[in-house]
């Protein structure tokens, strides 16, 4: 079969129409999980089938797509989804956050501020924030509809009782516009403040669980907490070893078996941009702005060169 | 004359052609303990779950004296009824596993109802949970253990603490001493009696154990085949049973 045998962006128009209706409903009721008829996609569940369907329904031929996985543009999940849309939709792709109009993401929100012309699409494994506390779907739906969210705080209570602090560090539950409690997908809680009042449209797609939910631009989003244990976004207490950034979310990379390690920005585009601007971290080398050189150094996966 | 806390009129629940319970009517006054006894299948538990809103009866009225005046619970909107269920009412299950979250610590179990009605201060929730564990004779250092690590009697006491922490006015109990050995039963009954007296609770207690109602209940209702066959003061019913079934029930107790 040739590529022309596929409709634009893989899904047929009726499916995209159905997904767009779910998205519109999600935008109209921020934080509410809208059921939709999720399709089988040519990739396994858990690889972003929900996000891919939402992206497919949002894409137009003029769009520029960026796909990130844990902040990185060059990891398997990101590369395969980017290639998928290059082939089936022939859209332009980019690694620069500022140039993209649609960004599909897994587990991160880009460091660079988003704009009103961008759509951020999240891949969601388990959309129901109450799932691990209340296994019955009928019951969780009732709890959402009647706004009975005491149970969510039981989870946070348990964290403090066992660990002395709220130990939930990703998929940290939030309350949207004072109404629905929502799972922000497994982003680190460092990213939670960026959910609130974002100028970009944020869409969440869960393929296996068949749910879509959304945060329209400038939605008020609050992370749940206790009065005497307030919410704190956390990150490793270091600066990036390549670009020296002190305010970005960091990955820890083990460099040898002697206890050597380095901390690097998890957002590769943010890190590269900073290095091109001349910022240098503890283990970094000065970069010269030619994009080619930057690209060859790009991977955080090449720490030996950087360490020398 | 005080208003009854709960008045039940003409309550009937059918399971298809079979009778769950039929034409039940009674008044429960504040601070009063009502026992419901009867053999298995006599409709005791059906009646209790209809009263507590877990099942919908076919006909009848259940009028509860809420803070806003008397309201028919069966006509209430579901959010209101569920709010009632976690503030003014409490339900103690026969099996503590049904009433507790087994994967959540004792403190979390007691705190859940507080958090459900809006408590958001960890220190306060914990203090209150510690206080209530003490009242049901669970050592404070067990607050971070899970109910799985507790004995059956402790689980039942934990369930009672979890239910009473929000200061309910009406408590439904379904065989609270079932499955416990006699010495543990005795301590639990002692505890319940103390709590009921100190807090002025109204209680509806379903049991097939006549000793339990003799100790706890002020008034007694005897059920048979879905109908109430006799009701009156506990001592009066037990010492001078009028209905044939009640006489059989009372004479069936083994004397040690």
How far is residue A80's CA from residue A49's CA, in Å, rounded to a whole number? 12
pTM of whole model > 0.95? no
> Annotated catalytic, A301?
no
For the four alpha carbons of A149, A152, A157 and A160, in that order, the dihedral sign comes to negative
Measured between beta carbons, which residues in chain B are less than 8 angstroms from residue A151? 112, 115-116
For the four alpha carbons of A29, A35, A36 and A41, in that order, the dihedral sign comes to positive
Distances A24 to A19, A28, A31, A114 between C-alpha atoms, Å: 9, 6, 12, 21
Confidence of residue B1 (pLDDT cuts 50, 70, 90): low
- Residue A36 in this model has a pLDDT that exceeds 70: yes
Q: Decide: A173 and A150 in contact? Cβ < 8 Å.
A: no
Confidence of residue A307 (pLDDT cuts 50, 70, 90): very low
Inter-chain touch B122–A146, beta carbons under 8 Å: no
How far is residue A79's CA from residue A127's CA, in Å, rounded to a whole number? 24
| Closest-CA residue of chain B to A160 | B122
With an 8 Å Cβ cutoff, the interface of chain B facing chain A consists of 78-79, 82, 86, 101, 104-105, 107-108, 111-118, 120-123, 125-126, 143-144
How far is residue A140's CA from residue A132's CA, in Å, rounded to a whole number? 11
The 10s digit of each residue's pLDDT in B66-113 is 888 888 988 888 888 888 888 899 999 989 999 999 989 999 999 999
The alpha carbon of residue A152 is apart from the nearest alpha carbon of chain B, in Å, by 9
Tell me what the pLDDT averaged over chain A comes to: 90
- Residue A296 in this model has a pLDDT that exceeds 60: no
- Residue A133 in this model has a pLDDT that exceeds 90: no
Measured between beta carbons, which residues in chain B are less than 8 angstroms from residue A227? 120-122
What are the E-state strand segments in A15-159?
34-35, 64-69, 92-93, 102-106, 119-123
Q: Are strands A34-35 and B18-28 parallel, antiparallel or unpaired?
A: unpaired
- Residue B163 in this model has a pLDDT that exceeds 90: yes
| Closest-CA residue of chain B to A134 | B101
pLDDT above 90 as % of chain B: 59
Q: Which of A48, A71, A207, A271 is catalytic?
A: A271
How much is the pLDDT for A301?
A: 46
- Residue A2 in this model has a pLDDT that exceeds 60: no
Confidence of residue B197 (pLDDT cuts 50, 70, 90): confident
DSSP state for residue B116 in the 8-state scheme: H
- CATH 3.40.50.11310 holds for A3-223: yes
Exposure b/e, B129-165, CB count within 10 A at least 16 = b: bbebbebbebeeebbebbbeebeebbbbbbbbbbbbb
Inter-chain touch B107–A157, beta carbons under 8 Å: yes
**Mean pLDDT computed over A57-67:** 96
Measured between beta carbons, which residues in chain A are less than 8 angstroms from residue B120? 153, 226-227
Measured between beta carbons, which residues in chain A are less than 8 angstroms from residue B125? 157
DSSP state for residue A21 in the 8-state scheme: H
What are the E-state strand segments in chain A?
34-35, 64-69, 92-93, 102-106, 119-123, 174-176, 180-182, 201-206, 211-215, 221-223, 250-254, 261-265
Inter-chain touch B111–A157, beta carbons under 8 Å: yes
> Annotated catalytic, A271?
yes
The domain ranges of chain A are 3-223, 250-307
Confidence of residue A3 (pLDDT cuts 50, 70, 90): low
Burial class (CB in 10 A: 0-12, 13-18, 19+), A245: buried
Burial class (CB in 10 A: 0-12, 13-18, 19+), A10: buried
Distances A276 to A71, A280, B79, B83 between C-alpha atoms, Å: 18, 9, 57, 59
How far is residue A31's CA from residue A72's CA, in Å, rounded to a whole number? 27
């Amino acid at each position: 079969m040739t590529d022309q045998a596929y409709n634009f962006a893989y899904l047929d128009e009726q499916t995209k129409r159905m997904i767009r209706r779910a998205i519109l409903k999600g935008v109209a009721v921020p934080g509410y999980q809208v059921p939709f008829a999720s399709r089988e996609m040519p990739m396994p569940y858990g690889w972003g089938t929900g996000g891919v369907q939402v992206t497919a329904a949002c894409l137009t031929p003029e769009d520029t797509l960026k796909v990130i996985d844990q902040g990185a543009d060059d990891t398997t999940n990101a590369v395969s989804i980017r290639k998928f849309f290059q082939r089936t939709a022939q859209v332009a792709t980019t690694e620069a956050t500022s140039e993209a109009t649609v960004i599909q993401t897994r587990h991160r929100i880009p460091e660079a501020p988003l704009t009103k012309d961008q759509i951020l699409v999240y891949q969601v494994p388990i959309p129901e924030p109450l799932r691990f506390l209340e296994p019955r779907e009928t019951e969780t739906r009732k709890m959402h509809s009647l706004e009975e969210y005491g149970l969510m705080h039981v989870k946070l209570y348990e964290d403090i009782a066992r660990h002395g602090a709220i130990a939930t560090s990703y998929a940290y539950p939030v309350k949207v516009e004072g109404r629905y409690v929502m799972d922000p997908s497994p982003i680190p809680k460092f990213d939670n403040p960026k959910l609130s009042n974002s100028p970009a449209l944020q869409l969440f797609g869960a393929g296996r669980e068949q749910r879509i939910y959304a945060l329209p631009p400038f939605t008020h989003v609050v992370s749940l907490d206790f009065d005497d244990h307030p919410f704190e976004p956390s990150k490793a207490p270091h600066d990036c070893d390549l670009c020296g950034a002190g305010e970005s979310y960091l990955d820890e990379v083990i460099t040898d078996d002697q206890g050597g390690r380095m901390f690097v920005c998890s957002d590769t585009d943010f890190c590269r941009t900073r290095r091109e601007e001349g910022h240098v971290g503890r283990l970094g080398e000065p970069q010269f702005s030619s994009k080619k050189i930057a690209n060859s150094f790009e991977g955080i996966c090449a720490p030996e060169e950087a360490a020398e | 004359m005080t208003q009854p806390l709960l008045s039940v009129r003409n309550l009937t629940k059918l399971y298809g052609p079979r009778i769950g319970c039929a034409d039940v009517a009674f008044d429960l006054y504040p601070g009063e303990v009502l026992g419901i006894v009867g053999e298995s299948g006599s409709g005791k538990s059906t009646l209790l779950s209809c009263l507590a809103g877990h099942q919908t009866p076919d006909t009848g009225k259940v009028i509860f004296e809420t803070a806003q005046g008397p309201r028919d619970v069966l006509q209430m909107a579901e959010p209101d009824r569920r709010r009632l269920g976690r503030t003014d009412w409490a339900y103690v299950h026969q099996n503590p596993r049904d009433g507790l979250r087994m994967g959540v610590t004792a403190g979390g179990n007691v705190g859940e109802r507080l958090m459900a009605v809006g408590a958001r201060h960890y220190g306060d929730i914990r203090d209150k949970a510690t206080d209530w564990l003490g009242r049901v004779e669970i050592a404070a250092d067990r607050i971070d253990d899970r109910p799985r690590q507790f004995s059956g009697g402790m689980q039942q006491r934990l369930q009672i603490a979890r239910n009473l922490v929000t200061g309910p006015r009406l408590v439904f109990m379904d065989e609270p001493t079932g499955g416990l050995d006699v010495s543990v039963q005795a301590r639990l009954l002692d505890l319940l009696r103390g709590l009921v007296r100190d807090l002025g609770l109204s209680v509806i207690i379903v049991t097939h154990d006549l000793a339990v109602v003799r100790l706890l209940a002020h008034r007694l209702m005897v059920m048979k085949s879905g109908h109430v066959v006799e009701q009156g003061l506990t001592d009066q019913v037990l010492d001078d049973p009028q209905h044939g079934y009640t006489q059989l029930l009372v004479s069936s107790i083994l004397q040690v």
